[in-house]
């Protein structure tokens, strides 16, 4: 991982202590994640993004290839130097040598001071483009012995702390996975919690699909990320906005009424086959959601569950039943609430297929008897003649309101 490009000159392994270095890397990770949008964080493949960040922020230990030593012709200059014998200064020719070595690994480590370090350092220059490190020294004598002694001393002092700095990289690499995972999870949870106070999905439905299927396929619409709207609801989890709940119920109602006019769509079909026709419409109508049938939820498998694809939270739960009298109807509600709904679920429906001839009597029975159910709270209007809205509570918490729609269809053939 290279955070510094081209060339830079530093005191070798001294500029930043190891604790500050790791803190800076952690901050870089958090800032990179924070720079991403809510949509990106919630929709990106979590494992792939974490792996990307781990790979990016893994520090490759430094290896200096001393066998690659390269010594260009020195620079010559006339400078004043101290006379070591007689004192004073005199002018003489100075040779300035720059010694180059190839290196591999993360150049940023040249700046890091390890916890255990030798108080020796030399100024070095790192060229990241060419992957070369160099140091420079001067001598005023053309003496091979003095040259080699001076070079070896500079090399030793410049790279004395290399081994211990690589231990800093090793320790960081052991922790980077947990740091990235923790930082990403924290950011994702922040957005999920933020959505607790938003209407989770604002639905914009294609007008051509506002009724029942009139073509082989329906264009899927993208459901935006949760956002505050004038129709916001508050809940402890991301939840479906009323506009989407109403759309789902309307689509189910329109499709069921259309099937009533086409007996071939329901004759001879059991609950599962009828359910699948509604499920097909729901799973093709919305993006960012998944619609499934016979899905395990809490204590059993419910007929229809619409989930928010981002975090897997339930948006809509429904059961399909043939009408077998008032007592079985009330039992079906109990089954829905006792076995399938969790405290997080707030919008549900019971879809009834009625084969009796006196359909009007059945609707009156529903209206009269539903208030006798122990979880009943209040009526909530009517979407249509046979789509009736109620508010119930869940048995685990009498303060937790749940919207329940009873939708009945007359399949009497």
Looking at residue 406, what is its pLDDT? 95
* 51-84: pLDDT as tens digits: 889 988 999 999 999 999 999 999 999 988 887 7
DSSP alpha helices (H): ranges in 61-136? Answer: none
Highest-scoring range by mean pLDDT, 76-90, 223-237, 302-316: 76-90
Residue 145 — very low, low, confident or very high, per pLDDT cuts 50/70/90? Answer: very high
Q: In what order do the strands lie in the sheet with 300-308?
A: 289-297, 300-308, 314-322, 347-354, 397-410, 387-394, 376-384
pTM of the full predicted structure?
0.49
- Judged against a pLDDT cut of 50, whether residue 363 lies above it is answered with yes
Residue 76 neighbours by CB under 8 Å, 6+ apart: 93, 94, 95, 96
Question: Distance (Å, rounded) from C-alpha 293 to C-alpha 302?
Answer: 7
- Judged against a pLDDT cut of 60, whether residue 120 lies above it is answered with yes
* 216-231: pLDDT as tens digits: 222 333 333 223 234 4
Looking at residue 155, what is its pLDDT? 96
Average pLDDT over every residue of 252-262: 90
| CB contact at 8 A, 327 and 367 | no
- What torsion do the CA atoms of 327, 331, 333, 337 make, to the nearest 10 degrees? 160
> For a pLDDT cut of 90, what percent of the chain falls above it?
48
DSSP string, 56-96: HHPPPPPEEEEEEEE-PPPEEEEEEEE-TTT-SEEEEEEEE
Looking at residue 292, what is its pLDDT? 59
Average pLDDT over every residue of 380-403: 89
Residue 215 neighbours by CB under 8 Å, 6+ apart: 208
Which has more confidence, 180 or 205?
Answer: 180
DSSP type of residue 118: -
- Judged against a pLDDT cut of 80, whether residue 269 lies above it is answered with yes
Which has more confidence, 4 or 402?
Answer: 402
Looking at residue 125, what is its pLDDT? 96
Looking at residue 309, what is its pLDDT? 63
How many CA atoms lie within 13 Å of 377's alpha carbon, on the beta-carbon side? 17
Looking at residue 194, what is its pLDDT? 66
Give 3-state DSSP helix, strand, coil % of the chain, rounded to 5: 40, 30, 30
Average pLDDT over every residue of 372-381: 93
Beta bridge partners, 304, equal: 293, 318
Looking at residue 237, what is its pLDDT? 42
Looking at residue 63, what is its pLDDT? 96
Looking at residue 293, what is its pLDDT? 54
Q: Chain-wide mean pLDDT for the chain?
A: 81
Looking at residue 310, what is its pLDDT? 60
* 276-295: pLDDT as tens digits: 888 888 777 766 566 655 54
- Judged against a pLDDT cut of 50, whether residue 4 lies above it is answered with no
Q: Are strands 112-113 and 16-17 parallel, antiparallel or unpaired?
A: parallel
Looking at residue 216, what is its pLDDT? 26
Average pLDDT over every residue of 354-358: 90
- Judged against a pLDDT cut of 60, whether residue 201 lies above it is answered with no
């Amino acid at each position: 991982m290279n955070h510094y490009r081209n060339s830079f000159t530093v005191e070798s392994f001294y500029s930043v202590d190891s604790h500050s270095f790791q803190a800076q890397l952690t901050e870089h990770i958090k800032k990179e994640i924070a720079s991403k949008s809510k949509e990106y964080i919630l929709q990106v493949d979590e494992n792939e993004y974490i792996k990307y960040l781990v790979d990016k922020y893994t520090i490759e230990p430094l290896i200096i290839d001393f066998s690659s030593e390269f010594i260009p012709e020195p620079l010559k200059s006339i400078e004043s130097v101290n006379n070591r014998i007689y004192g004073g200064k005199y002018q003489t020719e100075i040779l300035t040598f720059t010694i180059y070595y190839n290196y591999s690994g993360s150049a940023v480590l040249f700046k890091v001071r390890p916890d255990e370090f030798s108080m020796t350092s030399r100024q070095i220059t790192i060229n990241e483009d060419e992957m070369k490190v160099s140091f420079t020294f001067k001598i005023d004598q053309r003496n091979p012995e003095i040259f080699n002694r001076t070079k070896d001393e500079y090399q030793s002092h410049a790279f004395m702390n290399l081994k211990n700095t690589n231990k800093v990289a090793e320790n960081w690499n052991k922790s980077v996975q947990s740091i990235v995972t923790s930082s990403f999870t924290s950011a994702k949870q922040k957005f999920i919690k933020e959505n607790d106070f938003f209407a989770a999905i604002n639905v914009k439905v294609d007008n051509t699909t506002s009724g029942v299927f009139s073509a082989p396929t329906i264009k899927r619409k993208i459901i935006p990320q949760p956002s505050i709207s004038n129709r916001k609801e508050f809940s402890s989890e991301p939840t479906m906005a009323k506009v989407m709940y109403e759309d789902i119920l309307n689509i189910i109602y329109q499709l069921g009424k259309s099937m009533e006019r086409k007996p071939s769509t329901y004759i001879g079909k059991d609950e599962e086959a009828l359910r699948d026709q509604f499920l097909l419409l729901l799973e093709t109508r919305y993006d960012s959601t998944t619609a499934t049938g016979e899905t395990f939820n809490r204590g059993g498998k419910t007929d229809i569950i619409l989930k928010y694809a981002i975090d897997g939270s339930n948006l809509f739960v429904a059961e399909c039943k043939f009408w077998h009298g008032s007592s079985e109807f009330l039992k079906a509600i109990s089954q829905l609430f006792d076995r399938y709904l969790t405290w997080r679920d707030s919008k549900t429906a019971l879809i009834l297929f009625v084969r009796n001839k006196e359909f009007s009597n059945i609707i009156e029975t529903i209206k009269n008897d539903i208030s006798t159910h122990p979880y009943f709270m209040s009526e909530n209007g009517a979407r249509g003649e046979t789509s009736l809205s109620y508010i119930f509570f869940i048995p685990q918490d009498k303060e937790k309101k749940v919207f329940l729609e009873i939708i009945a269809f007359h399949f009497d053939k």
